[in-house]
A = this chain, B = another copy of it.
Amino acid sequence: MKMLINVPETVVADALRGMAAAHPELTVDVERRIVVRRDAPVADKVGLVSGGGSGHEPLHGGFVGPGMLDAACPGEIFTSPVPDQMARAAAAVDSGRGVLFVVKNYTGDVLNFDMAAELAEDEGVQVARVLVDDDVAVTDSTHTAGRRGTGATLFVEKLAGAAAEEGAPLERVAAVARQVGESSRSFGVALSACSTPAVGGPTFDLPPGELELGVGIHGEPGRERRGMMTSGEIADFAVDAVLTDLRPGGPVLALVNGMGGTPLVELYGFAAEVHRVLAERGVAVARTLVGNYVTSLDMAGCSVTLCRADEDLLRLWDAPVRTPALRWGM
């Protein structure tokens, strides 16, 4: 498996050097592996910190900036960052109004963010935590107790980030994050396995002509394997899986997400099918985001995340944001 890398051991550090070079508006500590918006701590603003294993870019480092995260802590590929990273990040972004940790529900991340919260509180930083567990494919998995955290992370970081940017206090920012998490569900599908630099090839076996319905963002097994389906059939399956768990009374935000290796022309075609299914089910779509946002290295495939959006969440979605991967209005 050919990769655009130097050696597997330096993939994350090399990427952070690249982020530092390309994004002078961020402060990137390559050695300690912390990406921080350059103007942090922002006076009188609650800080938002997230992180997790690398390999899901642009999540999380690409979401650091005004209107979204204040800091991100990347771990090694598909490996949780360590508590020291998160505690340092919290200290770097705390203005005195506290810090929210956005944590995807994977056992390592949960444990490490909990330890980091203790460390940060020992240093006098007030910490709240929100757990994102939106993936309806499986309850409990190879890497989790309970559901996995996937695409809803983007919604939580954007919407809670907008609330923080408006000057909301920690309890309100955390409440928005929890509301978004509870209002969001996802389902993912793999057409091919992903390859990690350490393994040097596919990390699981997916036979030609088969796809994995309900795959996780590390290639974890999903619900079932089937023979290849059309884009429309995949949209039917994925959207129905989400809607079985999430009953929208009103309009939704929709993320039509690529796993990394699927061309954008295919993702847009899939977005058309997702909209078709939602229209057939009577669900109105208020906003749609199409692209590779919560990825799994070079995996071909897609996921759908829906979030029940009230007027307040729509307003927060439309609020200005300026990060490497999401930018509008500023």
Q: Check B15 against A300 for contact (C-beta < 8 Å).
A: no
Interface residues of A in 94-134 (CB under 8 A from B): none
Which residues of the partner chain B approach A178 to less than 8 Å between Cβ atoms? Answer: none
In the complex with contacts A6-B231, A231-B6, A300-B4, A265-B12 CB distance below 8 A: yes
Q: Check B15 against A268 for contact (C-beta < 8 Å).
A: yes
Compute how far the CA of A10 lies from the CA of B228 in the bound complex, rounded to whole angstroms: 18
Q: Check B289 against A22 for contact (C-beta < 8 Å).
A: yes
A1-22 Cβ-contact flags toward B at 8 Å (1 or 0): 0111111001110111111111
A191-227 Cβ-contact flags toward B at 8 Å (1 or 0): 1100000000000000011010000000000000000
Chain multiplicity (copies): 2
Contact of A11 among B7, B208, B265 (CB under 8 A): B265
In the complex with contacts A265-B11, A297-B263, A329-B330, A191-B270 CB distance below 8 A: no
A-side interface residues toward B, CB under 8 Å?
Answer: 2-7, 10-12, 14-23, 54-55, 57-58, 62, 77, 191-192, 208-209, 211, 228, 230-232, 234, 256, 260-273, 275, 285, 288-290, 292, 295, 297-298, 300-302, 322, 324, 327-330
What are 15 contact pairs spanning A and B, CB under 8 A?
A2-B211, A4-B191, A4-B266, A5-B266, A6-B231, A18-B271, A18-B272, A18-B275, A18-B290, A22-B275, A22-B288, A54-B265, A62-B264, A261-B298, A263-B297
| Inter-chain pairs besides A2-B208, A19-B268, A262-B298, 15 sampled, C-beta below 8 Å | A2-B300, A4-B231, A4-B262, A4-B302, A5-B231, A6-B231, A6-B232, A10-B269, A11-B266, A18-B256, A18-B270, A57-B264, A57-B265, A260-B264, A263-B295
